[in-house]
Amino acid sequence: MTDHDHEPAPDYATDELAERQVLGIAISAPDLARDTFHRLNAVASWTSDQRLIAAAIADLYRSEDPIDPVTVQRLVETRAGTDDVARRVTVRVFELYSEVVSPTAETLAYWGERVHRVARARTAVAAALRLRQQVDQSLRNDDPVGYDRALSEAATAIEAAATKLEEVVAPPDNYAKLISIPLGHDWVIPGLLEREDRLMLTATEGLGKSELLIQIALTSAAGLHPFSGRPLALAGGGPMTVLVADAENSERQLSRRYRGTGERVELLCDRHGVPRPGWHDEDDGALRFVIRPEGIPLSDPRELARLERSIAATAPDLVIAGPHYKLTLADTTDENDAKAMIAQLDTLRHRYGFALILEAHTPNSSGGRERDLRPIGSSVFRRWPEFGYGMRPVADTEGLDGMPTTVTFERWRGDRDRRAWPRSLSKSTRGLPWTPPDSRYSDWLDHDGEEWVA
């Protein structure tokens, strides 16, 4: 035995980051990753905990069972051997899943080729070490046959190491494909929100932002327009499934707030001859809640998976979540932390196809200036949504409780598409709690009705 018999492969013959990306894509987009994963799994020597996770994914593919963070976690737990390993690898599964922001064929091809190249590099390094040993031995033993065999085996191994992962990536779409896309809207709320749209709503504390969000949730689940109260069925829409992820209020607080507005929405249904929602039935699924007053930190992979399970079970058309600062344990003023949070929300939004309304607070005023309606935190929040609106109190409209009864509904970023957002809202004791005071709003909806449902 020579001094070279047990030389380790160099560090560059492993790439844990590439492995994490490939496994994460396999967990988040199993159909996309199927063929690439099978080719890689045949040659890759997954490092550390990835080996156990890769084996679980491979078995789920073979059994044609669903692949998602939960199914992979369950299978890994049964094979971990010890509780410590089970806990560690379970956390790793959700880390892999949450690290993948937007799985695409191009991303998979890049990281897959990297894993494949590193696996082949290990083959090349092992072949080189074996060749060195065999050449030393054949020369010492004066064995020309062994010498020729060593060279031949090394040449075959090196040739195999030079092969590339066969992956065909579709070329980018051309102009003809682009203009063939239908121009119609895939409405969730006709005239306001299309599927996968994002709205951030801001206001100062106590102004009625939460009440407006409750109104939007209840009317949408009942099939009514959230501002006019008219049946959406008349505009090509209807009742939808709504999921509210409240990271601030308790069950008791929400029960009090929803009950009063829910009764007013039911009366509106009666007025318009629309069937009342079945939300008093415990089995009704039109309006569901994730209530976590302690917060929903999406930066924790376990919390992200927990929220996704709720979304997957509900299949909502509309998700109303927030406030935004309680959806992460990170600093929302830091741009990278803010980007990480919205990337997680975007992944869920794109994966499940819902429109998203995100509640946000506003920064304190300074220097005697009027309070800014932009969301508190990083400027990335101002660039992110399709629509950004805030509620600003109108002076001299205070009610008996001292709170303004009329607010302007102001955009704090330019709209990415033309929509029928009201310009102002007034408190009402009849109908909906917040309604546009200008009767021309309803006329506008009537006049442009065909455009809103096109």
pTM of model > 0.95: no
Q: Are residues 140 and 259 both part of a single domain?
A: no
Residue ranges of alpha helices (H) inside 223-250 are: none
Give which of 90, 113, 89 is closest to 36, Cα–Cα: 113
- What digits encode the pLDDT tens for the residues 65-76? 889 888 998 898
Residue ranges of alpha helices (H) inside 322-379 are: 335-352
Q: Quick check: is 193 in a domain? A: yes
Count: domains in the chain: 2
Q: Are residues 199 and 146 both part of a single domain?
A: no
- Token pair for 430: 């009849």
Q: Quick check: is 148 in a domain? A: yes
Q: Which range, of 16-30, 218-232, 360-374, 382-396, averages the lowest pLDDT? A: 360-374
- What digits encode the pLDDT tens for the residues 44-100? 778 778 888 999 999 999 888 889 888 998 898 888 878 888 888 888 898 888 888
Write phi, then psi, for 217 (nearest 5 degrees): -65, -45
Q: What dihedral angle (degrees, nearest 10) is formed by the CA atoms of 78, 82, 86, 92? A: -130
Q: Is the pLDDT reported for residue 174 higher than 90?
A: no
- What digits encode the pLDDT tens for the residues 126-136? 788 888 888 88
Residue 362 is part of a domain; what is its CATH number? Answer: 3.40.50.300
Could you give the count of Cα atoms lying within 13 Å of 24 in the half-sphere of its Cβ? 24
Q: Are residues 300 and 238 both part of a single domain?
A: yes
Q: Quick check: is 181 in a domain? A: no
Specify the pLDDT at position 336: 85
Q: Are residues 74 and 136 both part of a single domain?
A: yes
CA distance 215 to 34: 44
Q: Quick check: is 5 in a domain? A: no
- Token pair for 163: 């092969």
At residue 345 the predicted structure's pLDDT band, cuts being 50, 70 and 90, is very high
Residue-wise burial string across 257-287, b where 16 or more C-beta atoms lie within 10 A, e elsewhere: ebeebbebbbebbeeeebeebebeeeeebbb
Q: Are residues 145 and 210 both part of a single domain?
A: no
Q: Are residues 202 and 255 both part of a single domain?
A: yes
Q: Are residues 430 and 333 both part of a single domain?
A: yes
Residue 78 is part of a domain; what is its CATH number? Answer: 1.10.860.10
Q: Which domain holds residue 76?
A: 11-161
Return mean pLDDT, the chain. 85
Q: Are residues 441 and 400 both part of a single domain?
A: yes
Q: Which range, of 106-120, 204-218, 418-432, averages the lowest pLDDT? A: 106-120
Match 């957002």 to its residue by tokens.
Answer: 421
Q: Are residues 431 and 354 both part of a single domain?
A: yes
Q: Are residues 144 and 241 both part of a single domain?
A: no
Q: Are residues 130 and 236 both part of a single domain?
A: no
Mean pLDDT on 138-163: 79
- What digits encode the pLDDT tens for the residues 317-332? 999 999 999 999 888 8
DSSP 248-289: S--HHHHHHHHHHHHHHHHHHHHHHTPPPP-TTSTT--SEEE
> Is 429 exposed, middle or buried, given 0-12, 13-18 or 19+ CB atoms closer than 10 A?
exposed
Q: Are residues 127 and 211 both part of a single domain?
A: no
Cβ-contact 207, 404 below 8 angstroms: yes
Specify the pLDDT at position 451: 42
Q: Quick check: is 169 in a domain? A: no
